Structure 1
Amino acid sequence: MNINFLEIAKASMILFAVIDIIGSLPIVVKLKANAGGKIESGKASLVAGGIMLLFLFVGEKILGFIGIDVGSFAIAGAFILFFMALEMVLGISLFKQDENMVKTASIVPLAFPMIAGAGSMTSILSLRAEYASINISIAIVINIAIVFLVLKMSGWFEKKLGTGGIAIIEKIFGIILLAIAVKLFTTGIKNIFY
């Protein structure tokens, strides 16, 4: 095992920026309201962490097996993020809510694709080229712990920020999410054509 604290710190910061759980608070609050106030923080965190760790070790092989390159995967993720960002910025609802939302909100869309989405997965594949897998694994665990704490405290954040504060954060981070979607899209296009 080659544990390197500098690699862990760098990988943790990159994943923290991509996962952007603080910026996703407005979405979490909205999901919580749509799901009848029930978001299972532990379940969402464990599923997201499991998906990210699995993707770290076998993601590229799975994508290769089904004939999908990393660029195409990034573009697909960019579309999902783009529509989520449009909802945040424009205050519209594009995703259909159904009666199963209460049962699945902690897994879809919270654990996947919000936390363990195309952005975090393509970042994990990029990190693999530079850092040891053990260090990336530790960085993932650190980020999942942060995600768990933020999800657990989402009610507290909602009370402190209020409806107006949440609305402002939603618009700001909607624009940031839109920029991330565009970046993922352009990176995916470059990977496919160059």
Structure 2
Amino acid sequence: MTPEILSSVFLLLLVLDPLGNVPFVLSLLREQTPAQKRRIILRECAIATAVLVAFLFVGDWLLAVMRLSDPALEISGGLILFLIALRMVFPPAGHNLAEAEPRPAPFIVPLAVPMIAGPSALAMVLLASRQSGDPLPWVGAVLLASAVNTGILLISDPLARILGRSGLEAMERLMGLILTTMAVQMLISGLKVAFATA
């Protein structure tokens, strides 16, 4: 696996934000038994992975239909990631996901979509599909990132006990800072290409 793919795995993990989603998963599945939690998490993560992989193969076609250029996608993707990063670093009021209304048995919504396969993750795989002539290597990146994300969500209960609320918030802010830097780099790259071809 090339350094570019490894970088994409890391960026996708930042976008998926499994640590930031732990409180949401705990709240959403708090009425389920441990066995039911594992089954639901595995099912929803599998659905989200399938959606992301599908976008790898149809992303180039979608961009062609919508007549979107590489710089436009890179700039918009950078803006989306930057806004997400700001929310991670500076959570808005009422961000306490642990108090979210529980749902008895979520299916696709809201776990698979949009919590895991959200707009930012879909935009990222669309960009990868547009920039790469062969989407197959990126399938491995999506599968690896999804596997790590699934593993973290599966251990959400012990992870929450170990890190605590403050620990989870600190980790989310750290990932937000890293994501901010990567989003700015995407914006710079997109703007360079846009102005060079203008």
Q: Same fold (TM over 0.5)?
A: yes
TM superposition shift of 1:162 = 1.2
| Equivalent position amino acid for 1:71 in 2 | P
- Indicate the residue corresponding to 1:5 in structure 2: none
Question: Percent of counterpart pairs with the same letter?
Answer: 20
- Separation in 2 of the partners of 1:50 and 1:185? 28
Contact 1:45/1:144 (CA < 8 Å) preserved in 2? yes
- In the superposition, the TM-score normalised over structure 2's length comes to 0.71
Question: Which one of 24, 27, 47 corresponds to residue 17 of structure 2?
Answer: 24
Cα distance per residue 1:39-80 (max 9 Å; x no partner)? 843344223322332232221121111112232223333333
Distance across 1 between alignment mates of 2:10 and 2:28:
26
Looking at structure 1, the residues matched to 94 and 190 of structure 2 have their Cα atoms a distance apart, in angstroms, of: 24
Q: How does 1:45-84 map to 2 (within 5 A)?
A: 45-84=45-84
**Structure 2: which 5+ runs fail to align?**
none
Aligned length: 181
- The answer as to whether partners of 1:26 and 1:170 remain within 8 angstroms in 2 is yes
The answer on 1:172 being equivalent to 2:174 is yes
Alignment RMSD: 3.3
Match of 1:121 in 2: 126
User: Structure 1 residues 137, 27: closer, same or farther in 2, change over 3 A?
Assistant: same
Q: Check 1:189–1:36 CA distance in 2 against 1; reply closer, same or farther (3 A cut).
A: farther
The CA distance in 2 between the partners of 1:74 and 1:164, in whole Å, is: 34
Amino acid at match of 2:172: E
Corresponding residue for 1:105? Answer: 110
The 1:185–1:144 alpha-carbon spacing in structure 2 relative to 1, beyond 3 Å, is same
User: What TM-score, normalized to structure 1?
Assistant: 0.72
Per-residue deviation, 1:17: 1.0
CA contact (8 A) 1:23 1:173 kept: no
Gaps of 5+ in 1: 1-7
